[in-house]
A = this chain, B = another copy of it.
Amino acid sequence: MKLRRSERMVVISNYLINHPYELTGLNTFASKYQTAKSSISEDIVIIKRAFEEMEVGHIETITGAGGGVIFKPSISQEESLQIGEELREQLSASDRILPGGYIYLSDLLSNPILLKSIGRIIAKTFQDEPIDAVMTVATKGVPLANAVANVLNVPFVIVRRDLKITEGSTVSVNYASGSSSRIEKMFLSKRSLPAGSRVLIVDDFLKGGGTIRGMISLLDEFDSSLAGVAVFADNAQVKREAFDYRSLLRVTKIDVDAMRVDVELGNIFTESMNEVTE
């Protein structure tokens, strides 16, 4: 289909946004939009500049045969902090406190626009790590892992706490559940993760760390390695974990009687701010 330059730029940027981290040859666009490769090159220059000025992301150009362009989404420091602050306020609302000191999170983790932003923030945090897959544990981690995997354009793998016949052969490990030291099992389908994968683990709430330690031991079973750990929120009352992690929010205090939750921005924001001021 033959398009004008201005229209072409709209559809090319749409394509790149929907195919992040994917190498696309300029010939693909040239034949799709019946235009010379040199014109597509010029379009890309303009799109690249617009994306970079608005901090939507970076377009890398790979030259030579088999070359093309790769779009890597990003998010500006300003937008990122604004979302962090919005999440912090929402998480601090007193009506989230459940009996036992648990915090209701499901509404935040089922809002598409929020999830997209969270995905971009977490993906940016690990942008220098090669990542082949995002791993999480069912059920609440799934939308988060999905959001991060969307930005990185890698598959996500879902570890289960129960055994389902529709998963085929599985590998299981033991883990210490919750803050109790009860030992439970988690399962991952054998065919869901190729050996040698570098994996980003994502979960909703880090408390005792047992679930994440379980997933890390699963990585060993799959001859895969850990690229990083990211959680939506963590509870700073627990001791520093045996693994390094990044969180969007940190819950410093839950007072069930006073119906009060104290929440701070997590180290995803504080560490990236340090980088800026250094």
Contacts and interface: CB of A to CB of B under 8 A. Distances in A.
A6 B9 contact: yes
B53 A116 contact: no
Interface in A136-165: 138-140, 142-143, 146, 149-150, 153-158, 160, 162, 165
A146 B139 CA distance: 13
Interface in A105-146: 105-107, 110-113, 115-116, 138-140, 142-143, 146
B104 A53 contact: no
A31 to B, nearest CB: 14
Range of interface residues on chain A? Answer: 35 or more
Nearest to A22: B113
Interface stretch (A42-50, A253-261, A265-273): A42-50
12 contacts: A4-B46, A5-B6, A10-B10, A10-B50, A14-B51, A18-B116, A98-B166, A107-B191, A112-B150, A112-B154, A139-B160, A140-B166
